[in-house]
């Protein structure tokens, strides 16, 4: 668990940002970087809005890809192989709705109206999971979807991903997978699927380009069998072998363990 620490962030700039329609950016007056919290030893138990530092900064992987790209299946294999704790922004939002929390009603209403849940709400749910987990390595599935998501994560959590995976798949293939395997929404058809994919491309492309420019993006050709695609994923984690091996919950059959002998 992380020790309680106190830190006052700089006051958020009052300058406004230009937001796309249906996107709302909440402002917060206080925040604490995860990486800062790892470094400090000052603790004030019981104070709200602060994090508990672990021994080292968390290992974070973002996984991006449109509906039908196969990223869900690959996330399962990555988690099983490397012992990462799987977090899904969508699952966390659905959990809030199912548990009838204060945020849950607001989230449900926004989704019903076809609006995007404010980035700050989503990020704070992820932050809570990061803080409360005993794990030090995480796979965050389907996030960040937008530049707002990315900026909010960096501002609130104060951490950058170590790896960003993008499962690149042709539109026709994604449409075929979703419709043939009945993996999408109940009302999915060719028209609605193509619309969803256009929205994904418009919102997610800036995020992909940002991490590509930072040298953190790994593009995976998502055509082929599950095993063929996963063979492209395995080498990406090789440079982080020692960091992952030292973390908890490594699968005994993981290539990282087998290669260490």
Bridge partners, 217 (sequence order): 164
d(CA 133, CA 145): 23
CA distances for 227 relative to 31, 103, 156, 214, 231, angstroms: 41, 39, 36, 28, 6
> Could you tell me the end-to-end alpha-carbon distance of the chain, in angstroms, rounded to an integer?
31
17 labelled ligand-binding:
no
**Residue 172 region, left (φ>0) first, then alpha (ψ -120 to 50), else beta?**
alpha
Residues 6+ apart with CB under 8 A from 60: 137, 138, 140, 159, 160, 161, 162, 163
Residue 205 marked ligand-binding: no
- The answer on whether 71 is annotated among ligand-binding residues is yes
- 117 labelled as ligand-binding? yes
Annotation-wise, does 66 bind a ligand? no
Q: Binding site annotation covers 49?
A: no
The reply to whether 158 sits in an annotated binding site is no
22 appears as a binding residue in the annotation: no
User: In b/e form, how buried is each residue of 228-256, taking b as 16+ CB within 10 angstroms?
Assistant: ebbebbeeebeebbebbeebeebeeebeb
155 belongs to an annotated ligand binding site: no
Residue 181 is labelled as binding a ligand? yes
Query: Would the annotation count 94 as a binding residue?
Result: yes
CA distance 62 to 81: 16
Q: Are strands 85-88 and 163-168 parallel, antiparallel or unpaired?
A: unpaired
Q: State yes or no: 70 annotated in a binding site.
A: yes
Q: Are strands 59-64 and 85-88 parallel, antiparallel or unpaired?
A: unpaired
- Judge whether 144 is annotated as a binding position: yes
Q: Could you give phi then psi for residue 26, rounded to 5 degrees?
A: -75, 155
Q: Which two tokens stand for residue 249?
A: 């919950």
Whether 116 has a binding-site annotation, put simply, is: yes
141 φ/ψ angles, rounded to the nearest 5 degrees? -90, 130
* Residues placed in the known binding site for ATP: 68-73, 181, 224
Annotated binding site: 68-73, 94, 115-117, 142-145, 149, 181, 185, 196, 224
Binding annotation for CMP: 149
Q: Which residues are annotated as a binding site for a ribonucleoside 5'-phosphate?
A: 94, 115-117, 142-145, 185, 196
């Amino acid at each position: 668990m992380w020790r309680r620490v106190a830190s006052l962030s700089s006051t958020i700039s009052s300058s406004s940002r230009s937001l796309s329609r249906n996107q709302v950016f909440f402002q917060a007056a206080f925040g604490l970087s995860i990486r800062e919290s790892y470094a400090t030893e000052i603790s004030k138990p019981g104070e709200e809005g602060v994090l508990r530092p672990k021994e080292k900064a968390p290992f974070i992987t973002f996984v991006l890809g449109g509906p039908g790209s196969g990223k869900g299946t690959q996330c399962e294999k990555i988690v099983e192989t490397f012992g990462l704790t799987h977090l899904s922004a969508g699952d966390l939002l659905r959990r809030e709705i199912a548990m009838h929390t204060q945020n849950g009603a607001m989230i449900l209403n926004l989704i019903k109206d076809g609006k995007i849940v404010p980035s700050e709400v989503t990020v704070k749910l992820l932050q809570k999971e990061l803080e409360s987990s005993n794990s030090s390595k995480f796979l965050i599935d389907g996030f960040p979807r937008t530049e707002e998501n990315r900026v909010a994560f960096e501002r609130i959590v104060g951490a950058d991903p170590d790896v960003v995976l993008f499962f690149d798949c042709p539109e026709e293939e994604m449409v075929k997978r979703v419709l043939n395997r009945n993996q999408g929404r109940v009302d999915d058809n060719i028209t609605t699927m193509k619309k969803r994919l256009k929205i994904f491309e418009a919102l997610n492309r800036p995020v992909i380009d940002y991490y590509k420019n930072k040298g953190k993006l790994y593009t995976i050709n998502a055509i082929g069998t599950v095993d063929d695609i996963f063979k492209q994923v395995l080498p990406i984690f090789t440079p982080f072998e020692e960091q992952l091996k030292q973390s908890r919950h490594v699968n005994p059959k993981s290539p990282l363990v087998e290669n260490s002998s």
